[in-house]
Every structure is written in structure tokens, then in C-alpha cells.
Amino acid sequence: MSTLAKKRSEALKKLTQLVADKRRVLLIHYASEDFANRPDGTSARVTSIAVRNLDSAQTESFSIHQCAERLRVPSADVKAKIQELENELLSQFNSFMTKHHGGYTWVHWNMRDSNYGFPAIYHRCRTQGIDPNELDPASLFDLSRCLVDIYGPNYIEHPRLPSLMARNQITDLGFLSGPEEVEAAAKGDFVSVHRSTLRKVDTFEAIISKANAGTLVTNYRWRDIYGSSPKDLVIFLKEHWVYSLLGIITLVIGLIAKFASLFGSNAQP
């Protein structure tokens, strides 16, 4: 089996397993300050986190404006109290992680490193004096990488998530791009940031559902995974017995029809 074909097969299997046990699947997305342009080397503050259960659609959210309301911080004082509010946000999220630490799969979109990802959240926790209950890396499922493995690296235009939403007519109500989330937070519009993170976990659910059903619209081309030479076709047929069986059935039906036609034309009136 070719490397790309093997990756596709494994990714499809993982996706099927994910949906089969969706009661224990959590979809997560978060927003932060700008992490790309930080001359002082400090880490980006977390401004909103949304977590949705794939089965029940129940969503937990942790955001600056909610923490401000809970702590009775006036909107005019939010920026001055931002460290205290982030501490509250991260403390609540860490408690949530603790409750959902074992037996759950966490589905995310490119949350992989210390700039943007789970490591970045853990680091922000530590800057606030919070000991993060880190998730087992084996419990993390990168939906973005999964789609690349299934459909190939050129399956959709960049930026992939909004392009995929547009192609599949998934609503973008409240959706903000990463830079737009950063800009909204800088302006103190944490409500819009919160709505965006909620929209993104909803979007992940729609993408997973369509991909699992085989109805996700992409630029996927068969030859991107399996090649285009006769040898590649033979390998594909060997690896996929259903297609081979259909080919044999088609051949047999064709031979029967041919023989029936020959004998029919030679029959005496």
C-alpha cells in the first residue's frame, strides 16, 4: 500500500471510531492575543475557550467577559483587570480538564505547539500560578491533519477552515478569522471573540459529520492519493476488494450478455 493511501485508510478508520463513540468526544477551540508578533517574548494571553460534546452538543465556554460578569468587574475596568480575569478563565478550564481527563478524545484544529495549542494553554496556566492537569497527547485528535490525510494536502484552498465552510455551505455567523479575533480582543470586544470560538466548535461538528458520511465537498482527486498509472490502479484494486469484486461482477455480466447475444442471433425460427 502506498504511503498516502495508507494514511488515508488509517485516517478514515480513526474518523469512524471517533463518531462511533461520540459521547466521549469533545470539540475544542480557543482564542488568544496575537502570538506571532511579540517582541518582548511574552506568551499570548488566552481570551476565550469553547468545548462542545460531539454527541449532546452541550457546550462549555470560558471567556474574559463571562469571568468579568461573574466577578462583577465593570466593562470599563476589564482591561485593567485582565490578568485577574484570565486567571479565573484558566482556573475554570483547568477544572473542566480535570473532570474530563480520562476516556475522552479532544478534537482540535492545529492546536499543537507553544505558540498556539495545548502547550500554550498549559504555559499560560503556569504564568498564573495554576498547575495544569495536562491531557494525554494520545487523547488529542487534530481534525485539520486528519482531513489532509483523507483528502490530500491540496484538498481545499488556504485558509482552509473558512474555505471549507464556504464550499460546504456551513454557516459563518459570528465566525472571525484568527487575526480578527486578535483585533476584537485588542478593542475589548470579548463578546465577539467568544461567539467566534463557539461558532468554530459548531463548525467542527458539521465537518466531522460530512466527512464521516462521505459528503464533504473538497478538491480531492483520486490520483492525488493513489496515483494515475496502470500500476497504481492495479495496486488500488488489490487493496480495495469491493472495487475488485464489482469489477469481476461487471465482467461476468458483460460475458453473459455477449454469449446470450451470440446464441440468440444463431437460433432457428
| Domain-wise residue ranges, the chain | 3-222, 229-266
Q: Does pLDDT of 103 surpass 50?
A: yes
Straight-line distance from the first to the last Cα atom of the chain, in angstroms, rounded to the nearest whole number: 55
In this prediction, residue 269 carries a pLDDT of 43
Residues in the chain: 269
Query: Whole-model pTM?
Result: 0.85
CA distance 30 to 8: 28
Please report which confidence band the pLDDT of residue 39 belongs to, taking 50, 70 and 90 as the band edges: confident
Q: Does pLDDT of 251 surpass 50?
A: yes
Tens digit of each residue's pLDDT (9 = 90 or more) over 198-213: 999 999 999 999 999 9
CA distance 150 to 9: 7
- CATH topology for 3-222 is Nucleotidyltransferase; domain 5 (3.30.420)
In this prediction, residue 240 carries a pLDDT of 53
CA distance 86 to 96: 15
Query: CA separation (Å) from 12 to 16, 121, 134, 209, 211?
Result: 6, 29, 27, 12, 9
Tens digit of each residue's pLDDT (9 = 90 or more) over 146-177: 999 999 999 999 999 999 999 999 999 999 99
In this prediction, residue 108 carries a pLDDT of 98
Please report which confidence band the pLDDT of residue 5 belongs to, taking 50, 70 and 90 as the band edges: confident
